[in-house]
Structure 1
């Protein structure tokens, strides 16, 4: 005998396929949601960790910037102190300069030469005076050249004039101060160092 199935088998097959499809769709959606949750949790953890690192680095950078500012202030103070020290050393080294200058002018002054004025600006000294002759001015300049504290005498001008009793030459010359090398070595190094 032949059997005929009158049941709607196609309808049952379609319902079964739909059911399998929805089961598969639910499984895929469940796996997708689980994967998304896992990735989201991992990335959130990484983001929190990186934010923690960033805040730590920012706090350390702020501390280092404060230290850098303090170092800059200390360097500025050190520079200011070094400048003061240089000024004090310079003043200390040059404090006897005027004494040496006047001493050398007196020692190198030949007979017949008279000084009217002496002006000093830094290491340049301008000497004005009178001499009985031009030869005496020349001798004075040679004497200044041989001095250990004076060098490079340069005659600016010499004028001859006569007063009632004698004939004189009025002169003006520049000379440079120089430090005696032995003395400058001892004044640069303070005692005890």
Structure 2
């Protein structure tokens, strides 16, 4: 009988299997490493893109904030200019109303009434004069009351002079915001 030693064959087979297992394990580890590396590379690319997008958005946000500050500054300037224009227009309108009143004043005076003094101070127009009758003073007061420039007209004092004339004082309160 022949004796066959199968041990070296089994050892070789075991070594081949072990070698195949190590090769398979190495390939698996290598493939896993490549996959991790590829995913890391892709993730870093996405992260870089997101950082760039965030930087662009931040720049746009800063630019918009600067534009908003500039716009608010311009709006404040515009409001200031509009306010100044409104004040100038009100002054112009008031000047025109007074000019119209001064031009119209001679027609408001009765023939028997004369003015000696006209003074304007702090919203009151003080009119001092002389008239031949009380009726002329009352008529002149009524004429002043009909003017849109005055809120009210009060008689200050009326004195009868020795020559029969009346010396009078009228206080006309100027109406505020006539144009409104």
Q: How many residue pairs align between the two structures?
A: 175
Question: 2:97–2:149: 8 Å Cα contact kept in structure 1?
Answer: no
Residue 102 of structure 1 and its aligned partner are, at CA, apart by: 2.1
1:131 and 1:37 map into 2 onto residues whose CA distance is 111
Question: Structure 1 residues 160 and 120, CA, compared in 2 at 3 Å: closer, same or farther?
Answer: closer
1:85 and 1:31 map into 2 onto residues whose CA distance is 79
Question: Structure 1: where are the runs of 5+ without partners?
Answer: 180-193
Equivalent positions of 1:40-79 (< 5 A) are: 40-79=40-79
Question: Structure 1 residues 86 and 71, CA, compared in 2 at 3 Å: closer, same or farther?
Answer: same
Over the aligned positions, Cα root-mean-square deviation in angstroms equals 4.1
1:10 and 1:4 map into 2 onto residues whose CA distance is 12
Question: 1:161–1:170: 8 Å Cα contact kept in structure 2?
Answer: no
1:106 maps to which residue?
106
For 1:71-97, what per-residue CA distance to the aligned partner results, in whole angstroms no more than 9, with x for missing partners?
445444444444444444444444444
2:28 maps to which residue?
28
Question: Structure 1 residues 71 and 38, CA, compared in 2 at 3 Å: closer, same or farther?
Answer: same
2:120 is the counterpart of 1:119: yes
Question: 1:160–1:168: 8 Å Cα contact kept in structure 2?
Answer: yes
Residue 39 of structure 1 and its aligned partner are, at CA, apart by: 0.3
2:154 maps to which residue?
156
Question: Structure 2: where are the runs of 5+ without partners?
Answer: none
1:184 maps to which residue?
none
For 1:34-79, what per-residue CA distance to the aligned partner results, in whole angstroms no more than 9, with x for missing partners?
1100100111111222223333334444444454455445444444
1:171 maps to which residue?
170
Residue 29 of structure 1 and its aligned partner are, at CA, apart by: 1.7
* TM-score, normalised by the number of residues in structure 2: 0.63
2:127 maps to which residue?
128
